[in-house]
Amino acid sequence: MKTIYLDNNATTQVAQEVMEEMLPYFREYYGNPSSAHTFGGQVGKKIRAAREKVALLLGADPEEIIFTSCGSESDNAAIRSVLELKPEKRHIITSRVEHPAIKSLCEHLAAQGYRVTEIPVDSEGHLDMSRYEESLTPDTAIVTIMWGNNETGVIFPVEQAAALAREKGVLFHSDAVQAAGKIPINMKESNIDMLSLSGHKLHASKGVGVIYVRKGVKFTPFIIGGHQEMGRRGGTENTAGIIGLGKACELAVKKLEEENTRVKSLRDKLEAEILHRVPNTRVNGGKSERLPNTTNISFEFIEGEAILLQMDELGICASSGSACTSGSLQPSHVLRAMGVPFTMAHGSIRFSLSVYNTEEEIDFIVEELPPIIQKLRSFSPYWEKGKGVCATR
């Protein structure tokens, strides 16, 4: 059975070009970049080149790039560095719809005594900017607000938010794990101070990430060790991973346009066809500015995990914000923050595309999904009762 992969916000395939770039650094050039000999030193040069390529994607200077092991490490390192360097400030601002890497970290910090303000969103996923502005205080150490939402693809006005933070002298961090490579980023013309990136979301390998730290912003390492990354992140470099990430960023620059034209039109087609063919559906955050590859569709009166497993039988990979999928008993915190009704939230499916998806794949899903929905609805006690009527307690 052919796999149709539309779960690229979870992880992506390593690009062929990226893998070819990585392979020699496992068996041939396995030296340690910190070594004094040429054998190791040549790897150091490749890492420098990779740093330049990452900087190019972000419109940053190479010295502003620190390699880490993943997006979550980048998030932790950025926020904890700021808090450590500003111990007198005890307030953090974030949004209600962050990725667990930020959400759990903020909850952890709240338990340690930090005051955390979560900025709410409206039903379309828009950030409450006036609430945000009011929340900035002299006690605020850092703002951390994601760029593009991993579940709905909704893009936050991070530039505007960062400018407001700068006016008040507050540092601004953004989790750009989903945004990087999908929408243009130019740190030269930005007010954002710190940014997190993850390799495996843009066709590099798992186990490599990036923190961008603006020149002049003080930084103290999260992982204390050797002098790697100019003393900002201890630990021997994931050489192959970093070199692969450099290549992936180079490809992302080239493919940014394709993401926003061909991939976007495939996403739009998938969305429009499903909405047209299946009644009682809605796109969560559909009226907002969104990442070009993501759509989050709710199918009323049925449950997401059941849809996923039916699609799985056909080789279609997607994900769901339903409670059953996550292992918790509540549906996605993102959809709840947007006030998506329970009748819709439990039946939400996220499709996230990449440049490797084809029109044939979209056509296949558009043909195969409606009967699945119809079948599951035929099992549901709520379906026959009439549309829009929900029997809650």
The answer to the question of residue 332 lying near another protein (CB under 8 A) is no
What is d(CA 125, CA 28) in angstroms, rounded to the nearest whole number? 49
Q: One-letter amino acid identity for 264? A: K
Which of 117, 164, 161, 170 is closest to 141 using CA atoms? 170
The answer to the question of residue 329 lying near another protein (CB under 8 A) is yes
Which of 239, 241, 252 is closest to 45 using CA atoms? 239
* One of 303, 353, 361, 362 touching another protein (CB under 8 A): 303
Q: Which stretch binds another protein (CB under 8 A): 180-188, 220-228, 231-239, 380-388?
A: 380-388
Nearer to another protein, 48 or 385 (CB): 385
DSSP state at residue 262: I
Nearer to another protein, 163 or 324 (CB): 324
* One of 167, 168, 379, 387 touching another protein (CB under 8 A): 379
Q: DSSP characters for 245-281? A: HHHHHHHHHHHHHHIIIIIHHHHHHHHHHHHHHSSSE
* One of 309, 339, 360, 371 touching another protein (CB under 8 A): 309
The answer to the question of residue 301 lying near another protein (CB under 8 A) is yes
Q: Phi/psi class of residue 125: alpha, beta or left (left: φ > 0; alpha: ψ in -120 to 50)? A: left
- Nearest distance from residue 153's CB to another protein, in Å? 23
Give, as ranges, the residues between 359 and 378 that touch another protein (CB under 8 A): 378
Which of 387, 356, 365, 386 is closest to 308 using CA atoms? 365
Q: Catalytic residue at 70?
A: no
Site for another protein (CB under 8 A): how many residues? 31
Q: Catalytic pick from 70, 317, 324, 390?
A: 324
The answer to the question of residue 57 lying near another protein (CB under 8 A) is no
| Bridge partner residues of 282 (DSSP) | 298
What is d(CA 114, CA 135) in angstroms, rounded to the nearest whole number? 14
The answer to the question of residue 110 lying near another protein (CB under 8 A) is no
Place of tokens 């493919």: 255
Structure tokens at 106: 């903020």
Q: DSSP characters for 71-131? A: HHHHHHHHHHHHHHH-TT--EEEEETT--HHHHHHHHHHHHTT-EEEEE-B-TT--B-HHH
Nearer to another protein, 181 or 331 (CB): 331
Side-chain half-sphere exposure of 372, counting CA atoms within 13 A = 23
Q: Which stretch binds another protein (CB under 8 A): 156-164, 260-268, 289-297, 303-311?
A: 303-311
Nearer to another protein, 29 or 342 (CB): 342
The answer to the question of residue 313 lying near another protein (CB under 8 A) is yes
Q: Which stretch binds another protein (CB under 8 A): 33-41, 139-147, 246-254, 323-331?
A: 323-331
The answer to the question of residue 323 lying near another protein (CB under 8 A) is yes
Q: Which stretch binds another protein (CB under 8 A): 95-103, 230-238, 280-288, 301-309?
A: 301-309
What is d(CA 9, CA 202) in angstroms, rounded to the nearest whole number? 9
The answer to the question of residue 305 lying near another protein (CB under 8 A) is yes
Q: Which stretch binds another protein (CB under 8 A): 190-198, 219-227, 268-276, 329-337?
A: 329-337
* One of 331, 337, 355, 361 touching another protein (CB under 8 A): 331
| Residue 164: partners with Cβ closer than 8 Å, 6 or more residues away | 132, 133, 136
- Nearest distance from residue 13's CB to another protein, in Å? 19
What is d(CA 346, CA 116) in angstroms, rounded to the nearest whole number? 28
| Bridge partner residues of 135 (DSSP) | none
Catalogue the active-site residues.
Answer: 324
User: Residue numbers of the site for another protein (CB under 8 A)?
Assistant: 301-306, 309-310, 313, 322-325, 327-331, 342-343, 346, 378-382, 384, 390-393
